[in-house]
Amino acid sequence: MTFTCPAPEDTLALGDALGRAARPGLTVLLQGPLGAGKTLLTKGIARGLGIPGWRYVTSPTFAIHNQYQGRLTLHHLDLYRLGDGGELEGVGVEEFLYGRDICVVEWPDSFFAELPSDRLWVRISGDADGDRVVRFQGDGETATAVLAEMLAHLDNEGG
């Protein structure tokens, strides 16, 4: 499923629909170059989850992990700094990665094997000069169900 997001508000709205559709145990893997809108989409997810401080969701590049409370608990991971040889274990992610919380992961590429196989892929292409194209693909029961519900939300809104 592919969407074109000409404006930041479009990316935010997509994330919002995803946040509203999110179910316990959802893992979202966010791919795309620097500045593509991964963190902005995460802000939208936070808004859709009813997190009061969604506006303050920022890239946790220096923290690796941030946590927010809404309808469900949101864990926002940015694994960029862990690099290729890094250890996901040291971050303590096992505590929540396979539980009922929502995990959104920026820069997951070096850690595919350690992340849940039930995963919703979100791939953002394009950059500062062009429209963002956002592709969704659900692998697994939870991710597939969430994606279907997200699309239903967007359909109902005529978007």
Ligand X SMILES: Nc1ncnc2c1ncn2[C@@H]1O[C@H](COP(=O)(O)OP(=O)(O)O)[C@@H](O)[C@H]1O
Residues in contact with ligand X by CB under 6 A are 5-8, 10-11, 32, 34-40, 59, 132
CA 24, 25, 30, 35 torsion: positive or negative? positive
> If contact means CB under 5 to 8 A according to the sort of partner, which of Mg ion, ligand X, none does residue 140 touch?
none
Kind and range of the H or E element at 154?
helix 141-156
Binding positions for Mg ion, 13-72, rule CB under 5 A: 38-39, 59
> What is the C-alpha to C-alpha distance for residues 107 and 140, in angstroms, rounded to an integer?
20
State the residue number with the nearest CB to ligand X: 37
Per-residue exposure over 87-115, b if at least 16 CB sit within 10 Å of its own CB, e if not: ebeebebeebbeeebbbbbbbbeebeeeb
**Residue closer to ligand X (CB basis): 7 or 148:** 7
Q: Whose Cβ is closer to Mg ion: residue 12's or residue 154's? A: 12
Residue whose CB is less far from ligand X, 25 or 32: 32
Residue 28 and residue 113: Cα distance in Å, rounded? Answer: 14
Of the pair 8, 116, the CB lying nearest ligand X is at 8
Q: Binding partner of residue 35 among Mg ion, ligand X, none, CB under 5 to 8 Å per kind?
A: ligand X
For residue 4, the minimal CB distance to Mg ion (Å) is 20
Cα 155 to Cα 15, 61, 86: the distances in Å are: 15, 34, 41
Name the residue nearer to ligand X (CB basis): 41 or 49: 41
* Residue 7 interacting partner from ligand X, Mg ion, none (CB closer than 5 to 8 Å by kind): ligand X
Cβ neighbours of residue 28 closer than 8 Å, sequence gap 6 or more: 18, 45, 102, 103, 104, 105, 119, 120, 122
**Which of ligand X, Mg ion, none lies near 66, with the C-beta cut-off 5 to 8 A by kind?**
none
* Residues lying near Mg ion in the complex (CB under 5 A): 38-39, 59
